[in-house]
């Protein structure tokens, strides 16, 4: 009996025919467009769709859905073609142990083109993400609509766009552009919360270079028209740029770590090894700076953030305002900060749009806003006025006034005019508004105010030296009387003028006090519309 058992153990029973058929079908579907097309993809420095999912998700966590779905279209020879998975891989997995839904277009299968079945697979995974309140991540690498399927492919895009809007502000939506993304396909990423691109391989445009040349006579390369540099620094469509695909997936994983699963949760808290009472002596030096001297606001953010870590969003676009994530006391915080190193930190059209959409995203996903203010006003000029600075500038006012998450504001150096109001002032319902002792808060800068208030006295001066001396004297008097943080604090428009070195502690303490200000999901969802 023992001998017979041992013999059977050495000769496993072959799988049933039905199991063999399943394994054959799965193996065939997982091969994508075949070895030759996969090799061609890699020759361009691009991963296969399955390799991308492997790099993005925790090892062994991916569960694929709809592997065996295929197109039902038959025109233009489609019935004779093998189209595994209809050119897209869909499923769910984990990032750092947290569930996410994923879809990855496979360029090796009909160029990743979108047909009806392809779109239905994406819609199914988006619905799953929405219903189960988890983020959805799209890995896009597609030649666009599948022409052979006609209007069905356009209807498929419409169904995806509808779901993008339905999920806006409900679950985080992330788009990763890993190849071409053209025509109507570009509007799905534009509707999502964050867009990633890879240098040299990612391209987005409504019309390609050939169409542009035919229509307007302009000659432009793929990169020049819709590459990562164009969309990260000029159009503002792209939020993050990576040097390579592995670097891109590392950034995506880092971003997900700052986001909640949905509007019904808070962002994940982590153990904080950085003492909340850590002093920030650098800020004392700042009080000795000339108010007109530029500096990078990043140095202030790094000093006050846990472990000096800051994850910047849209770093190459509208550099006069800085947006991004950090942790303070272990809690995720969204940073909005004027950057005096660029355009003196003034607000312009692009900066207003950038800040407003980021604030609305933070409000949608229960993330507190820390506003660091050093702003001389709105950027002047005919181009700005004709470009709609009034309309665009109003967006940041609307975003702050609308936000009901904890709002903490610190005036670092100067805050003048309408820009002072716009940067989460007390009467825009900031919860805690602090200022450093060197802050200047006024309708306008002392130099400009003196030119208006004392124009006759200045004009009466006998020479230029006398004018400069009088201006300096009057500016100092004006600043002391009308631009002092103590004068603003005396009216209640500031809660406290704080010791510079205590800034980190003051902010963390305020955040902890405000932690229950709003229950996740209790707020009205207005979505995260592209601004």
85 belongs to the catalytic site: no
Catalytic residue among 330, 418, 448, 527: 418
- DSSP for 447-482 reads HHHHHHHTHHHHHT-SSHHHHHHHHHHHHHHHHHHH
Which backbone phi and psi does 179 adopt, to 5 degrees? 180, -150
Does residue 336 sit in helix, strand or coil?
strand
Catalytic residue among 144, 156, 183, 329: 183
Does residue 112 sit in helix, strand or coil?
helix
> How do strand 369-375 and strand 331-338 relate by DSSP bridges?
parallel
CB burial of residue 93 (10 Å; 0-12, 13-18, 19+): buried
Catalytic residue among 182, 267, 419, 442: 419
> How do strand 440-442 and strand 407-416 relate by DSSP bridges?
parallel
184 belongs to the catalytic site: yes
- CB-based contact 244:47 (threshold 8 Å): no
Q: In the chain, what is the straight-line distance between the N-terminal and C-terminal CA atoms, in Å?
A: 77
183 belongs to the catalytic site: yes
What is the distance of C-alpha 45 from the center of its chain? 25
CA-based nearest residue to 331, from 478, 90, 145, 514: 514
CA angle (154 as vertex; 212, 262 as ends), nearest 5: 100
419 belongs to the catalytic site: yes
Work out the number of other CB atoms within 10 angstroms of the CB of residue 13: 6
Catalytic residue among 184, 200, 257, 527: 184
- CB-based contact 361:400 (threshold 8 Å): no
> What angle separates helix 245-258 from helix 49-56, to the nearest 10 degrees?
40
The rounded distance, in Å, linking the Cα atoms of 515 and 421 is 25
Which residues are annotated as catalytic? 183-184, 418-419
């Amino acid at each position: 009996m023992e001998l017979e058992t041992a013999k059977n153990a050495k000769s496993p029973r072959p799988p049933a025919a039905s199991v063999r058929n399943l394994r054959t079908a799965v193996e065939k579907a997982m091969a994508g467009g075949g070895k030759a097309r996969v090799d061609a993809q890699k020759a361009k420095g691009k991963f296969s769709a399955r390799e991308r999912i492997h790099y993005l998700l925790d090892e062994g966590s991916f569960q694929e859905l709809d592997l065996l779905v295929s197109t039902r279209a038959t025109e233009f020879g489609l019935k004779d073609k093998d189209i595994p998975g209809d050119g897209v891989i869909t499923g769910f997995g984990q990032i750092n142990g947290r569930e996410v839904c994923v879809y990855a277009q496979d360029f090796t299968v009909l160029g990743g083109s979108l047909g009806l079945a392809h779109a239905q697979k994406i819609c199914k995974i988006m619905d799953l993400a929405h219903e189960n309140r988890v983020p959805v991540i799209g890995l896009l690498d597609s030649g666009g609509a599948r022409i052979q399927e006609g209007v069905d492919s356009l209807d498929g895009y419409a169904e995806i766009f509808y779901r993008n809007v339905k999920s806006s502000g409900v679950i985080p939506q992330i788009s990763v552009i890993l190849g071409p993304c053209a025509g109507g396909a570009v509007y799905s990423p534009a509707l999502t919360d964050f867009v990633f691109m890879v240098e040299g391989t990612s391209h987005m445009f409504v019309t390609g270079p050939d169409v542009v040349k035919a229509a307007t006579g302009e000659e432009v390369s793929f990169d020049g028209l819709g590459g990562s540099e164009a969309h990260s620094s000029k159009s503002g469509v792209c939020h993050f740029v990576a040097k390579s695909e592995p670097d891109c997936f590392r950034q995506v994983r880092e971003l997900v770590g700052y986001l909640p699963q949905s509007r019904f949760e808070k962002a994940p808290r982590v153990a904080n090894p950085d003492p909340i009472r850590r002093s920030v002596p650098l800020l004392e030096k700042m009080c000795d700076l000339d108010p007109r001297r530029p500096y990078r606001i990043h140095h202030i953010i790094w000093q006050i953030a846990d472990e000096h870590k800051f994850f910047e969003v849209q770093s190459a676009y509208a550099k006069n305002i800085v947006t991004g994530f950090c942790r303070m006391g272990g809690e995720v915080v969204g940073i909005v900060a004027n950057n005096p190193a660029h355009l003196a930190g003034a607000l312009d059209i692009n900066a207003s749009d950038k800040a407003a959409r980021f604030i609305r995203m933070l409000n949608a996903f229960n993330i507190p806003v820390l506003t660091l203010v050093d702003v001389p006003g709105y950027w002047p000029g005919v181009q700005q006025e004709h470009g709609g600075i009034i309309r665009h500038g109003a967006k940041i006012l609307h975003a702050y006034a609308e936000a009901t998450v904890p709002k903490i504001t610190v005036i670092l150096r100067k805050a003048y005019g309408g820009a002072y109001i716009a940067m989460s002032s007390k009467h825009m319902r900031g919860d805690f508004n602090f200022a450093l002792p060197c802050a200047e808060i006024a309708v306008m800068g002392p130099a400009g105010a003196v030119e208006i208030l004392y124009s006759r006295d200045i004009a009466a001066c006998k020479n230029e030296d006398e004018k400069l001396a009088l201006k300096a004297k009057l500016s100092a008097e004006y600043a002391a009387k009308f631009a002092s943080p103590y004068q603003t604090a005396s009216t209640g428009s500031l809660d406290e003028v704080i010791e510079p070195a205590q800034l980190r502690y003051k902010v963390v303490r305020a955040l902890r006090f405000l932690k229950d200000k709003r229950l996740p999901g209790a707020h009205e969802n207005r979505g995260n519309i592209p601004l």
